[in-house]
Amino acid sequence: MTQFRQRAILAATALVVGATTAHAQTTIITREPVQTQTVVTEEPLTLTPVQRQTIYRTIVRERVAAAPPTVEYRVGTRVPAGVELYSVPEAVAVEVPAIRRYKYMTVNNRVVLVDPATSQVVAELVD
C-alpha cells in the first residue's frame, strides 16, 4: 500500500469518525409547554345584619319546597346534585345586588345561599 493511499484511508476514517462523534454530540431537547391553571378566588359573601334580615324575610314569604334535612348544610360545604335550588327573588336582588348570582334553598327554617357554579354554600340566614 502506498503512503498516499494510507493517508487517504486514515483521513477518510478520521472524517467518518469525526462526523459520527459530532453528530452524537448534537442533542436537541424539546419540552411540552407548561399548562398553567388559573385560580379565581372570590371575596367571601359579606352581608350586613339588615341585608341578612331582608333576604331571609323575603325568601321565607316565597314558600318554596324545603330541601331534605338529611344533609347538614354549612358555609363551605357542597350541595348534592339532586337538591333543587331557586333563583333569588327580584325584590331581594334589587335590595341586595351582591346576591343576584346565587341560588337558594330552605332547610329547617334557614335560608341557604348557594353558588351555582360550584354548588358550594356561601351563607346561611336565620331569623
Mean pLDDT, range 48-66, rounded to an integer? 81
The better pLDDT of the pair 12, 64 is held by 64
What is the domain-level CATH number for residue 111?
3.10.450.160
Q: Compute the 3-state secondary structure of the chain and give helix, strand, coil in percent, each to the nearest 5.
A: 35, 15, 50
User: Does the model's pTM come out above 0.85?
Assistant: no
Total structural domains in the chain? 1
Mean pLDDT on 31-46: 59
Q: Phi and psi at residue 113, in whole multiples of 5°?
A: -90, 135
In this structure, is residue 67 part of a structural domain? yes
Answer whether residue 29 is part of any domain.
no
Q: Which three cell numbers stand for residue 94?
A: 334589587
* 9 within a domain of the structure (yes/no): no
Quickly tell me which residue has 493511499 as its cell.
5
Please report the pLDDT score of residue 40 as a whole number.
44
Query: 111 lies in a domain?
Result: yes
Judge whether 40 lies within some domain. no
Residue 25 located in a structural domain: no
Averaged pLDDT of the chain: 77
State which residues form the domain around 91. Answer: 49-125
